[in-house]
Structure 1
């Protein structure tokens, strides 16, 4: 069994659009999205249909380049093959970036290839594509990235750039479907409602205890919290990011089926659960919050008191499966 996160109906539909006549592709693509309830692109937005792996096979690119891009695709959809070396939880890249990283409103990865190098507030310096990928390994996969310039890092970068084929670098137009756009935050969020909603709508895949589902040692559905999930430095621990992902993509195969309130309540509950420590942890939760509370963690529950039991979230030294806190890739860049 290939351990690729299952396609949604949306993914299948959008992969199909790549096969139609080029002149009709964009219209069909937008029609598919709006038919599912997603907003139509604004007149000034950049709409890009990422090429498929079938497109790659039909291209006249060098056979060796095709092989490297295929390797990148394989690593992206089955990152668990790097378990114990670069990945220390049950996540694949495609656990968050659904549909092979191609799907709009599910943080499609091709924009990174055309907007980087760029400044990133998370680490307060200019990042290139490899460093952005390294961040996903460090935080979302609670791991240690492949070395910069290594075969695996090159393959992943090549796959990102293949998906961006035909898009100008540093596009001036805003990108349609980028990221996990969150619905407007409701006035009140409820842990109790989120817990019940998770049990009713999410646990069938992710388990009542949030540990996900693995079959024959392969991840089928990822863990939304706990030692097998992302750590406290991952983007999805921010409630707005989690709400955007949930609203636009969950339950799997039923995008936009939850109300805005339901998506936010589930995100609030999910991000009120423990997970491995933020690699930027200084050894003291208050000191770490002084550094990152005004920026990254201002939208997370890190360092906050959980109302059900009084626990201060993130106040621990647990690093999950790995035996280190911070890989050497988490470092400042000064250009001096």
Structure 2
């Protein structure tokens, strides 16, 4: 654990590149299904069981970068977010988009960019959109580390769930880890491999945010502002600016403005935000709001300007028509202003 704590202060130095000439849409909507009260969720192993090996060092670094992503600020991260802001309890919590669920869901075909995406490519999308940054290249230390941490959470939890807690997590090559667990070549113990058909691995219980029924009333910004003021502002600021410490670091994330997720991030969708908020907010409490309140406050939060969609090419209307045919405010008028017309710089401008 001493080494684990030490990694939290590592200075990360490496190069980045994003190969695609035209930025594809790699920020898919997180899958949402109805929550079941009878399901057994996968439970990752304790961090103090990470092995004292070269592989273990990658896992520890992945954990460190995940919970304190601001280590990568100015390289790969262009806002004041940390990965853990949307993936609760260091990416371990069921029903909060856990890393173990995501790892087992890739590689996966994506219709929007018409190709099979590796797990590494999925993480790259998170850097581009949710972190308003630039994607690390596939062989970078950081990307490998986050993928290794995801794999360790998934495989350790699977082994424990099936009575194999005495077995260490098999140490895979970087290239195997970067692909993800939804593939024929991914090695599972012979005794349980039949329990995890490849096509079913993306359906681990608790993978996404539990789906809510459509609201009885259309989400309302006035009601949403009241919910925000009474329940959210204490942690996220009266103007969505988040809470910073004396060191200037953002300890509770901004929800709109220059330091927030951008207009391409999955969380800017009103439904995704509502699912997340209802299940996971206020922090540490969960399910304190009514479903209608969750819808209302999600709409209120996402009706504010934020960094520009990285796919923007100068025409908000055209960009909205191509990429925003969902429940969101991009390209729509709010209080007489077209959202996206006054957006803050995207990561391409923030990180040179």
Coarse TM-score class (shorter-chain normalised): 0.7 to 0.9
CA distance in 2: counterparts of 1:182 and 1:125, whole angstroms: 27
Distance in 2 between residues matched to 1:136 and 1:87, nearest whole Å: 10
Q: Kindly report which structure 2 residues correspond to 1:1-336, keeping only aligned pairs within 5 A, or say none.
A: 39-42=36-39, 47-57=41-51, 63-165=53-155, 167=158, 169=182, 170=198, 172=200, 174-186=203-215, 187-215=217-245, 216-294=247-325, 298-306=326-334, 309-316=335-342, 318-319=344-345, 323=349
Counterpart Cα distance in 2 of 1:184 and 1:124: 30
CA contact (8 A) 2:258 2:306 kept: yes
Distance in 1 (alpha carbons) for counterparts of 2:151 and 2:278: 28
Q: Distance in 1 between matches of 2:333 and 2:348?
A: 26
Give unpaired runs (5+ residues) of structure 1: 5-37, 328-336
SS of the residue corresponding to residue 220 of structure 1 reads strand
Q: Describe the superposition over 1:271-314 as per-residue Cα deviations: whole angstroms up to 9, x where unpaired.
A: 100001101112101111221133xxx111111111xx211111
TM-score, structure 2 normalization: 0.74
Cα distance 1:184–1:233, how it changes in 2: closer, same or farther (>3 A)?
same
Paired residue secondary structure (2:232): helix
Q: Write out per-residue CA displacement over residues 205-238 of structure 1, whole angstroms, 9 at most, x where no aligned residue.
A: 0000101011112221001111000000000000
Relative to structure 2, which stretch is displaced further, 211-220 or 67-76? Answer: 211-220
Q: Which runs of 5+ in 2 are unaligned?
A: 9-34, 159-180, 183-197
3-state SS, counterpart of residue 265 of structure 1:
helix
**3-state SS of the aligned residue for 2:104?**
helix
CA shift for structure 1 position 152: 1.1
SS of equivalent to 1:164: helix
**Secondary structure of 1:264's aligned partner:** helix
Residues 41 and 176, structure 1, Cα contact 8 Å, conserved in 2:
no
Q: TM-score, normalised by structure 1?
A: 0.78
Question: CA-atom RMSD, angstroms?
Answer: 2.3
User: Mean alpha-carbon deviation: is it higher for 284-293 or for 194-203?
Assistant: 284-293
User: Structure 2 CA distance, aligned partners of 1:225 and 1:292?
Assistant: 20
Structure 1 residue 111, shift from structure 2 partner: 1.8
Distance 1:124 1:73 in 2: 31
User: Counterpart of 2:251 in 1: which secondary structure?
Assistant: strand
Distance 2:54 2:315 in 1: 49
